[in-house]
Structure 1
Amino acid sequence: IIKTTLDLNKQFQSLPEDIEAVQAEQLRSLLQQAGSTSFGQYYGFKKILDEENIIKAYQKMVPIFTYRKMHQNWWKQQQKLPNITWPGQPKYFALSSGTTGKRSKRIPVTNEMLATFRKVGQSRIAALANYDFPAEYFEKDVLMLGSSANLSEHRQHLEGEISGINTANIPAWFDRFYKPGQEIAAIDDWDERVAAIAAAAPDWDVVTICGIPSWVRMMLIKIIQTHQLKNIHELWPNLSIYASGGVAFEPHRKSFEALLDRPITIMDTYLASEGFFAFTARPGTMNMQLAVAHGIFYEFIPFDERGFDETGKLLEEPEVLHLGQVEEGQDYAMLISTPAGTWRYLIGDTIKFTDLSRYEMVISGRTKYFLNVVGSQLSEEKLNAGIEALSDEFDIKISEFAVAAIEVDGEYIHQWILGTEDQLDEEQAAQFLDQKLQALNKNYRIARQKALKAVRVYCISPDKLYNWLETRKNKKGGQLKLPKVMKAKMMRKVLDFVQR
């Protein structure tokens, strides 16, 4: 039944021709719904709606917000009072993983935002009709590995990581396919939850797995060890789809595929605490199609001198584009306006459009994952490319990595941590990474001739890195991610911890 429905939906799938008009309509709907809120009245939403070009009027009258600015000025009040940035009061607040910040952020999640998550999720399911999967696969199990669905009460709302909030709101029709089920998903302790998943795994016929690569890999290893398997396909022969998310998959590919008996279809998703923005919609690529007609208004700031200074800090008056103005191949920082009451919100990711005819894009990095202490100008995309090349060159599996610029005896070096169980000569790895990044980035090459004096590599067991993450956040699994670019102080703390 599901497969037939998807095939019928495929006939009606089409992308809008006038993207500016479609996005203007998303913005209009948001402004109409929030016009009577404190935020809407302060910034004149009703006046904006009277303008001929509401996108231009909106950009003129509403400033750009970072989390700190939005939280301090508006969202903090919304935890106590209704009608601040969105009608009513949010039932949930999502605690972000805090990848680049010290503390978890509280992001409001309204009922309308949950509906948007579901709407994008339904489009993603509909896109499966583009793949040649057997009809029976659509009646089998989907394993979603996220944070605990046991949410905490705080003031007048519930809070937890967004994967836990979404799990707690799984639609009834999907419940029969969803694994590990609500009871196991509510287990707070990560190790206990994975042990329960491993114990129940033989009873499931899993076709699809969703989750962050590093934690999915750890779960699969636990299942394989528990049941003394050679690979996960011995237990789940129909496993055919992995929906990745949270971090770039490519650096994890080798270690992930080592747990399989045969290739499977790997898709990417762009799902954050602030929204579900994009998903892989066709075979032959992991690039993602932006959800352009699902209640979210997007803006884009060029991630270069037009929008940011040399340290990666947002300019006072950056150039801002709507979706109809972007170009392929250019890095952009993304602004979102959503029914969670986020307005012109700098989400912190950088993206790059790969095919504007399909509105396909990739996540190219984070605005804070930009290593430029000595003018090296290394983006996350270049860092990932260096690690992938290193993995291929030495035929090793690298589960995690991080880098920092550290001052040693008055001179700067790049200090790398590589999470791997394989044998690797650290000096050879440093030399290869250095040469590869010089070939990839002329600014890095110039920096190596001047202020950047050396490159060092330490190979560390991934388990030790995950243990450090656990001590830092007092939890494990879920949406926790190792920061790829660290400050020198954090790098020293990691090295002190793992070398004890």
Structure 2
Amino acid sequence: MSYIIGTIIQQSAKIGAFVDKPRQSPTQLQEQQLRELLHEARHTEFGEEYHFKRLLEEADVETAFKHSVPVMDYQTIYDRWWVKAHLEDQPDVCWPGIVPYYALSSGTSQSSTKYIPLNEDMLRMMKRGSRRLFYDMAKNYGLAPEHYTKQMLMVGSCTQQKRVGYHWEGDLSGIMGMNRPRIMERSYRPGRHITDLPDWGERIERIANEAPQWDIGFSVSNPMWLQLILERIIEKHKLAHINEIWPSFNVLVHGGVPIEPYKPTLEPLFDKPILYMDSYGASEGFLGYQERPEHRPMKLLNDCGVYFEFVPFDEEYFDDNGDLRTSQPKSLGLTEVETGKHYAILLSTVAGAWRYLLGDTVQFTDLEKAEFRITGRTKQFLSACGEHISIDNLCDAVRAVDEKLHAGIGEFTVTGLREGTFWAHQWYISADNQSINADALVKALDEELCRLNDDYAVERRYALRNVRARMLPNQVFLDWLNKRGKLNGQAKIPRVLKGKQLEDFTSFIGENGY
């Protein structure tokens, strides 16, 4: 029976992939998306301030829009616009109506907590993107029909929401859970009786207790938190691997962090190869996903409620702190970007974000298909003296060194420090292999980064005179997140530490004897 039901689901998804596939080019979809956004918001305060009705009459709407509306980071758009909709529940500020939800996002810079507006239009667009991800999984991932009858493990933050005035506040996963169709509830684990628990440790324990009752085939998760859950289940039930109780489980839809550094410690928890599917979801929208298992770049979702612009991420437009130098930087559309270059993303969305600096950086790999990969954060590039190291570089180096030394690297972060007239890189890193010492590890990392990045190699001969590492237990990183109130299914360790985060982390390890 499971084969018949699975076959029906699989074939229906493949038909859906054909029917729902956009027939226009990415650039055509994006121009249409911008026109729809401007039309819907033309009578809002924001639309009237920036003359959206007039912009729609321009022959070149995209250029007119860029010239009229300034680029804004979170703090700028919140203080000037979103605060009225948030604190006063004022309607028609940046998008028609009252904003019903605010997704709480810790981010990595600016405010400690960000309140990102989320409405029914955006939820509908997120669901459209999620459907397409599922359709392409059915079409391209070669799963057996029975796989589609299995349950999905969703690892996220607490789904308990807080009612404030006329809106709800909480983590994105909780808001999505509130709006999930009831018919889908039987396919998701854990249930609300677990996900509503505010304490992350208690949630893990309850999941471990109930795990043998489930039949998981897929997981949608941050890899760090999935690993913690699987390790606890295996420990509690004295298993050799997770497939002893979930024999079909081998598909991981992940996002939020690069998967490569986690593979050496995640894969031994399974008795079969893992199929990875990268996704690019944020509180601001569902932006893209990996279409094929053998092809790591993701495709941009060009008609899911988001209009994209791309600002070259270089010294002309960004300062050393990763802040824009001007509110009217040069921004490029999909016809203007080039492969291999770093770009910061600007978003305009159906939730009322306008030319909003997301904080992520990307590189395009295929312009015709609008395929890209995430390379880092505007605030988390390491360039103390011109070495221009991206998170992508750091993760690639860690993965290569881990494979070479069999170190069992877990969490890591790095910072740039001034030493007289020169600079140093300080790594903080965990490794399961106790025979690996810090000097050997940092030597291998240094050599790999020189191979990966020419700028780094040059600066190692001149301004970057020292690279060192401090070995820490992996639990220290988790304890630091816990101290900051960020121990949940969506939190992640920043790969580059700067400013207050650096002060907080070094104080924490010092206070705890490390």
- Fold match by TM threshold 0.5: yes
Partner of 1:48: 55
Determine if the alignment matches structure 1 residue 345 to structure 2 residue 345: no
Equivalence map 1:129-144=2 (5 Å): 129-144=139-154
The 1-side partners of 2:76 and 2:111 are apart by: 16
Moved more, 458-467 or 481-490: 481-490
Q: Which among 82, 101, 105 is matched to residue 92 of structure 1?
A: 101
Equivalent of 2:83 in 71, 76, 81: 76
Where does 1:413-452 land on structure 2 (aligned, <5 Å)? 413-423=424-434, 424-452=436-464
1:239 counterpart SS class? coil
Is the contact between residue 78 and residue 89 of structure 1 (CA under 8 Å) also seen in structure 2?
yes
CA–CA distance in structure 1, aligned partners of residues 503 and 13 of structure 2: 51
The question of 1:37 aligning with 2:37 is answered no
Aligned to 2:70: 63
1:400, 1:93 → 2: CA distance?
A: 30
Q: What residue is the counterpart of 1:382 in the other structure?
A: 393
* Matched residue, 2:120: 111
Counterpart of 2:18 in structure 1 is 11
- Post-superposition Cα deviations, 1:9-45, rounded to whole Å, max 9, x if no partner, equal 2333545453322111111111111111111110111
Q: Work out whether residues 465 and 498 of structure 1, in 8 Å CA contact, stay in contact via their aligned partners in 2.
A: no
Find the residue that maps to 1:447 and give its secondary structure. helix
The percent of aligned pairs where both chains have the same amino acid is: 36
- Provide the C-alpha distance between the structure 1 equivalents of 2:231 and 2:375, rounded to a whole number of angstroms: 29
Does residue 323 of structure 1 match 2:334?
yes
CA deviation profile, 1:145-194 (whole Å, cap 9, x unmatched): 00010012234321111122112211223212111112211111101111
Q: What is the rounded CA distance, in whole Å, between the counterparts of 2:59 and 2:111 in structure 1?
A: 43
**Matched letter for residue 88 of structure 1:** G
12-21 vs 167-176, which moves further: 12-21
2:347 corresponding residue in structure 1: 336
Per the normalisation by structure 2, the TM-score is: 0.93
Mapped partners of 2:312, 2:421: distance in 1: 34
2:208 aligned residue: 198
| Offset at residue 496 of structure 1 (A) | 1.4
Structure 1 CA distance for aligned equivalents of residues 80 and 492 of structure 2: 28
Structure 2 distance, partners of 1:374, 1:50, is 47
Change (3 A) 1:498 1:353: farther
The 5 A counterparts of 1:76-475 are: 76-79=83-86, 80=88, 81-101=90-110, 103-128=112-137, 129-305=139-315, 307-309=317-319, 312-316=322-326, 317-408=328-419, 411-423=422-434, 424-472=436-484, 474-475=485-486
Give the Cα–Cα distance (whole angstroms) in 2 for the partners of residues 102 and 460 of structure 1: 28
The question of whether the paired residues in 2 share the 8 Å contact of 1:99 and 1:482 is answered with no
Tell me the alpha carbon deviations over residues 412-452 of structure 1, each in whole angstroms, 9 at most, x when there is no partner: 32110112222221011122222222222222223222332
Instruction: State the secondary structure of the residue aligned to 2:225.
Output: helix
Q: Distance in 2 between matches of 1:301 and 1:130?
A: 32
Answer with 120-129 or 445-454: which moved more: 445-454
> Against the structure 1 CA distance between its residues 460 and 411, is the aligned structure 2 distance closer, same or farther, given a 3 Å change threshold?
same
Q: How far did residue 313 of structure 1 move?
A: 3.2
Query: What code does the residue aligned with 1:349 have?
Result: D
CA contact (8 A) 1:300 1:332 kept: yes
Q: Give the Cα–Cα distance (whole angstroms) in 2 for the partners of residues 7 and 349 of structure 1.
A: 32
Q: CA deviation at 1:301?
A: 1.0
Q: Which runs of 4+ in 1 moved over 6 A?
A: none
Counterpart Cα distance in 1 of 2:227 and 2:460? 36
Aligned mates of 2:401, 2:110 — CA distance in 1: 28
Q: In structure 1, what is the Cα distance between the partners aligned to 2:257 and 2:423?
A: 28
Greater Cα shift, 228-237 or 358-367: 358-367
Q: Secondary structure at the match of 2:335?
A: helix
Q: The residue matched to 2:94 in structure 1 has which SS? A: coil
Shift of 1:498: 4.7
Residues 153 and 159, structure 1, Cα contact 8 Å, conserved in 2: yes
Q: Distance in 1 between matches of 2:203 and 2:293?
A: 33
CA distance in 2, matches of 1:165, 1:205: 25
Query: Any residues of structure 2 matched to 1:470-485 within 5 Å, and which?
Result: 470-472=482-484, 474-485=485-496
Which has the larger displacement, 89-98 or 15-24? Answer: 15-24
Cα distance, 1:12–1:149 mapped onto 2, change above 3 Å: same
Shift of 1:312: 3.4
What is the root-mean-square deviation of aligned Cα atoms in Å?
A: 1.7
SS at match of 2:296: coil
Say how many residue pairs are matched: 499
Structure 1 residue 326, shift from structure 2 partner? 1.9
Contact 1:468 1:498 in 2 (8 A): no
- Specify every segment of 5 or more residues in structure 2 that has no aligned partner in the other structure, as ranges: 1-7
Distance 1:378 1:491, change over 3 A: farther
Alpha-carbon distance in structure 2 between the residues aligned to 1:87 and 1:322: 26
- The AA in structure 2 aligned to 1:445 is A
Residue in structure 1 matched with residue 509 of structure 2 by the alignment: 495
Could you tell me which amino acid in structure 2 is paired with residue 282 of structure 1? Answer: R
Q: Counterparts of 1:389 and 1:29 in 2: how far apart (Å)?
A: 45
Opposite residue 465 of structure 1, the aligned amino acid is: F
Q: Distance in 1 between matches of 2:432 and 2:357?
A: 37
